[in-house]
Structure formats: C-alpha cells, structure tokens
C-alpha cells in the first residue's frame, strides 16, 4: 500500500503530559461545617497541555523529557505538604491550576518549544479544574 498519497491536513499539534503528587490542604475560607474546611488530602493529578503549529525534529511539539523540571518542582515544593500552609492563596484546584500555569510560564516556557495552552488539576478522577492560558496580544 502506498501511503505517500495521503494528504496531510493543515492544523495545530497538541500534546499533554500528566504528573502526580500527594498533598493535604484545608480551605479555611469555607464555613466550619463544610467538609473541605477540615484538613484532608488528595492524590493530585496535574496535566500540562502544550500546542505548536509545527513540529521540532524528530516530530515533537516538545520532548516529554523537557518537562522533567516541572515534575521536579511538584516533587520538591508541593509533594507531601500542607498546601494551605505554603501557598499564598486558598488552595482550590482552580487556584492551583492557575498557579502552576504561572510557574510553568515563568520557569520553563522560554526553554522549550511548544506553547502552554492549559493546566488541568484533578483532586480525584471524577472532578477537575482547568486553567486556560490566554494568548499574548
């Protein structure tokens, strides 16, 4: 079979990579009767989503190995910590997704090909929060 006749459509390439860490938190801004106002923990899952209009050799948006510094940050700064004690905001999944996007942009974005599109944070498999990065104007 000759595959050279398959026309490649124009478009954008998107990749995602998941990371995980364990952490506890409470949300002191909630009423005392709310279950999340008490100390509890999660097995967090964080997904980084990147896009590019063209691919780098040998055909990557970004080499997944280039994202290792992000995993290093999660492991050293957030893993097995009480998030409400170390972060300067209420550690909801929504705020955590925005914070992680900011860290990524500040510390990793300029060093890799591909553009950060979004960060998704899951506290459990049935719920998630996503922060979408606005395009620079």
Out of 36, 45, 47, 94, the active site residue is 36
Contact 25, 40 (CB under 8 A): yes
Out of 38, 40, 80, 85, the active site residue is 80
What is the enclosing helix (H) or strand (E) of 68? helix 68-73
| Residue 80 is a catalytic residue | yes
- Cα-Cα-Cα-Cα torsion 18, 56, 14, 20, nearest 10 degrees, comes to 10
Contact 104, 119 (CB under 8 A): yes
Q: Which residues are catalytic?
A: 36, 80, 123
């Amino acid at each position: 079979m000759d595959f050279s006749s398959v026309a490649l459509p124009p478009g954008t390439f998107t990749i995602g990579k998941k990371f995980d860490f364990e952490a506890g938190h409470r949300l002191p801004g909630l009423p005392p009767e709310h279950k999340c106002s008490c100390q509890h923990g999660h097995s967090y899952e964080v997904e980084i989503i990147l896009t590019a209009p063209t691919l780098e050799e040998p055909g990557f948006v970004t080499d997944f190995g280039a994202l290792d510094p992000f995993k290093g940050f999660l492991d050293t700064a957030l893993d097995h910590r009480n998030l409400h004690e170390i972060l300067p905001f209420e550690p909801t999944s929504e705020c955590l997704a925005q914070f992680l996007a900011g860290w990524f942009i500040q510390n990793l974005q300029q060093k890799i090909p591909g553009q950060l599109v979004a960060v998704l944070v899951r506290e459990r498999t049935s719920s998630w929060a996503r922060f979408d990065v606005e395009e620079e104007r």
